[in-house]
Structure 1
Amino acid sequence: MNKNLMVFWLSACFVFGLDRVTKVWAERTLALGEKVPGIEGWYEWSLYYNPGAAGGIFSGHVEFLITVSALAVFSLVWFMKKGEHDSNAWLQIGLGLMLGGALGNLFDRVFYHHVIDFINPIGESYIFNIADKGIRWGLYLGLVGLWLSRRNLKRAAKKQVSSSERTLEQ
């Protein structure tokens, strides 16, 4: 394993582990459909088995959703192994969070044929889990990482051009 990608792998393991622990807690503690007070003013806990993707789209198409999830997992790992991202911590954390979230929901789809959701924002009609938040926040951090990489590449290119110009002047 590339030690320079440790942040990527640790981020993925953190989200996957936290997702599994909280889903086991939700299934052992909550009754299906029951609403239990959670974080006052923010969330309540409500166990829901989502047979589809976000908001229940593609319900009943488990094989399709497993395939899409597996492709996402393989793509994230390939992208990190193929590219030179070992110095970009923001990108590593972001893609690691996304990988952990994708693995968490893939685990549910493979073993249960649905995703376990239990976090219900008060006043909203959707329910989610830790894996979903890992994917969402990973996307945000990954975009920040890509933006910083692009900025650093432009800066490096300018330095190279200016040093080439100085060499030509001499």
Structure 2
Amino acid sequence: MTTSDTVTDASSPTRRRAYLLWAIAALAYAVDLGSKLAVVARLEGRTTVSVLGDWLVLRVQRNPGAAFGMGEATTIVFTLIATAVAVVVVRYSRRLASTPWAIALGLLLGGALGNLTDRLFRTPGGLQGAVVDFISVRGFSVMNLADWAITCGCALALLLSFRGSPTTGPVARSDEAEGAEGEAAA
């Protein structure tokens, strides 16, 4: 087995984990975006819809701030944080050490992109758009599916951190580097 074979074999699981991260992020993003479009079209301006009595209802509200409506005057800060999270997750995606980390970071990325889309394109726009929230849990908060993806991703990341699971492994080499090493070895 040559050095380039070893690099290719070692990077294959890393690539699969990166693809899993991207697939989960795309799914979380698509479900969030689709749910927001449906909720705005069918429920905005109407009364609440009971799902589980008064424990869980669908109620549309626009949130320019963060969780629990905090920080309404600093919407642009949340936009920048979501952008930073997306950039960091994309950078980590090339070096993921485990499937659970791919799942956690995929949920974080999909959720961050879902809320970032609202910040960019919803009124008033220009990095200050209000996020569409609609899942109201009695005594807790009104959230959207992006928020739930972020919450679940963070919970899994915390669990993995407490277990000491490494986030990243060796950096996968590009095909050009592998080709250059193969030619040098020949």
Question: Are 2:106 and 1:96 equivalent residues in the alignment?
Answer: yes
RMSD, matched Cα: 2.2
Instruction: Find the counterpart in structure 2 of residue 115 from structure 1.
Output: 131
Distance 1:84 1:10 in 2: 14
Larger mean CA deviation between 9-18 and 53-62 belongs to 53-62
Distance 1:119 1:34 in 2: 13
- Structure 2 alignment gaps of length 5 or more: 1-13, 123-128, 170-186
C-alpha contact (below 8 Å) 2:96/2:102 kept by paired residues: no
Displacement after TM superposition at 1:36 (Å): 1.2
Structure 1 runs (4+) deviating above 4 angstroms are none
- Structure 1 alignment gaps of length 5 or more: 154-170
In structure 1, what residue type is equivalent to 2:113? L
In structure 2, what residue type is equivalent to 1:95? L
Instruction: Find the counterpart in structure 1 of residue 156 from structure 2.
Output: 141
Give the aligned length. Answer: 147
TM-score after normalising by structure 1: 0.77
Distance 1:66 1:22 in 2: 21
In structure 2, what residue type is equivalent to 1:2? R
Q: Does the residue aligned with 1:34 lie in a helix, a strand or coil?
A: coil
Question: Are 2:66 and 1:66 equivalent residues in the alignment?
Answer: no
CA 1:91 to 1:61, structure 2 compared with 1: closer, same or farther past 3 Å?
A: same
C-alpha contact (below 8 Å) 2:25/2:108 kept by paired residues: yes
Distance 2:71 2:54 in 1: 32
Distance 1:39 1:24 in 2: 22
In structure 1, what residue type is equivalent to 2:130? H
Instruction: Find the counterpart in structure 1 of residue 36 from structure 2.
Output: 23
Q: Does the residue aligned with 1:60 lie in a helix, a strand or coil?
A: helix
Distance 1:130 1:32 in 2: 20
Instruction: Find the counterpart in structure 2 of residue 167 from structure 1.
Output: none
Instruction: Find the counterpart in structure 2 of residue 162 from structure 1.
Output: none
C-alpha contact (below 8 Å) 1:92/1:142 kept by paired residues: no
Task: Give aligned-pair identity as a percent.
Answer: 28
Q: Does the residue aligned with 1:104 lie in a helix, a strand or coil?
A: helix
